[in-house]
Every structure is written in structure tokens, then in C-alpha cells.
């Protein structure tokens, strides 16, 4: 699996690059993880409802082709795009989602933060039962048996734009970030740690967690 550190990229440019990569890949094309940050942007999933944007705060809104509802991306948030061949990895989408969540939970757990899934609401949340604020969001697109888009982890960012939306379509959903939970790493360090866990999760099955 190849890792690409892209720095800060425009959302539209990254999205188009993922589509180009996915259209061009062959059965033996290595899978890739793209690590990036985006300038401020709200993105609305393919079935996303515009009413989940509560007010105009001067941030562009982009309709995209991933699953899920509305979310916010901005500087200080780690974004990792997972360009994986599902068939070659013997994965179903639901298994991949659970694997992404497991990797985030392990990475944060090793740093001392307790997080968990929440049934029916993909992502990672504070607390042993996932009853707290959301710290990571997920959204995928599958094309020709391969995935693109991926996950975002709030690290050290301005969280105020989340107040202008129903995050991930859930009214009143609280969001948090690693800095506010006492974890000192920056986006680059978080990216290295989480990329290691994702490689472990999707490297052949031995370490895969359901």
C-alpha cells in the first residue's frame, strides 16, 4: 500500500484526482492512502439533504459523490483518502467501514483516549459506549469495485463551522477534536499514526478487526 502525503489540497482537485486514479487503475495497481488537509469547505454526500446546512457562513458548499450527509473540512483536520480494491482485499463495504473505525479507535486508544463506534451512525465517538461527541467521520464511494473518499479526524482546528450544520445529518450532534481531549500531536503526527493503523488493518487480514 502506497502512502502519499499531499499537504493542503483544494477539495475539488483532490476529488477529481481520486476519480482519475480510480478510472485508470488496473487489477494489479497498488492501493494507496492519501493524507491531506483542505481549506474550509462543507461537503454534502450523494443523498445529503440541503436543509442540514442551517445558515450561510461564507464557506463554500460542494455536492460530492461520497456516502453520508453534510460535514465540514478545514485546516487542522486530518483527511485520509483510501483508494482500495475491494475485490482484491476480499472486503465488503461494511467490513471496510468497520475496519476504518477500528483503526481510528486503536490509534486514539494508544494515545490514551477512549472512543467507540455508535450503532447506525458511522464514525468514531468519545466514550466506551460511543455516547459522546464525534471526533472522526467516514464517507466512501465505490466505483468498479474500488473505493475512494475516506475519513476525517478532527485534530487542531476551528470547530465553529460545525455549528452551521447538522453534522453528518444529526441535529445537535456535538463534535470534538484531539487537542481538546488533551492529545498534543499535530496533523502530520496524527496522519503517521493513523496511516500505520490503516495499513495494519488492510494489509492482508491477519490483523483485521471486525
At 175, which helix (H) or strand (E)?
none
**Phi/psi at 148 (5° precision):** -145, -175
Residues 6+ apart with CB under 8 A from 17: none
Residues 6+ apart with CB under 8 A from 78: 35, 37, 152, 153, 155, 187, 190, 191, 194
Cell of 205: 487480514
In the set 80, 84, 100, 168, the catalytic residue is 168
* Distance in angstroms (rounded) separating the CA atoms of residues 154 and 137: 9
Radius of gyration, CA atoms only, the chain: 16
* Distance in angstroms (rounded) separating the CA atoms of residues 72 and 61: 9
Active site residue 168: yes
* Distance in angstroms (rounded) separating the CA atoms of residues 165 and 59: 11
Cβ-based burial of 16 (10 A; exposed 0-12, middle 13-18, buried ≥19): exposed
Positions marked catalytic = 168
Amino acid at each position: 500500500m502506497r502512502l502519499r502525503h499531499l499537504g493542503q489540497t483544494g477539495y475539488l482537485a483532490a476529488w477529481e484526482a481520486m476519480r482519475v486514479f480510480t478510472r485508470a487503475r488496473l487489477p494489479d495497481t497498488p492501493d494507496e492512502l492519501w493524507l491531506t488537509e483542505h481549506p474550509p469547505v462543507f461537503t454534502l454526500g450523494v443523498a445529503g439533504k440541503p436543509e442540514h446546512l442551517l445558515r450561510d457562513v461564507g464557506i463554500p458548499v460542494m455536492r460530492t459523490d461520497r456516502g453520508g450527509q453534510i460535514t465540514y473540512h478545514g485546516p487542522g483536520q486530518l483527511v485520509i483518502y483510501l483508494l482500495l480494491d475491494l475485490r482484491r482485499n476480499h472486503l465488503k463495504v461494511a467490513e471496510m467501514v468497520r475496519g476504518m473505525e477500528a483503526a481510528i479507535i486503536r490509534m486514539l486508544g494508544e494515545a490514551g483516549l477512549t472512543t467507540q463506534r455508535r450503532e447506525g451512525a458511522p464514525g468514531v465517538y468519545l466514550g466506551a459506549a460511543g455516547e459522546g461527541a464525534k471526533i472522526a467521520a467516514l464517507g466512501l464511494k465505490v466505483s468498479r469495485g474500488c473505493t475512494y473518499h475516506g475519513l476525517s479526524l478532527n485534530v487542531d482546528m476551528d470547530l465553529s463551522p460545525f455549528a452551521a450544520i447538522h453534522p453528518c445529518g444529526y441535529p445537535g450532534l456535538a463534535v470534538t477534536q484531539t487537542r481538546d481531549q488533551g492529545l498534543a500531536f499535530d496533523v502530520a503526527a496524527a496522519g503517521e499514526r493513523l496511516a500505520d493503523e490503516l495499513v495494519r488493518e488492510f494489509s492482508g487480514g491477519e490483523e483485521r478487526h471486525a
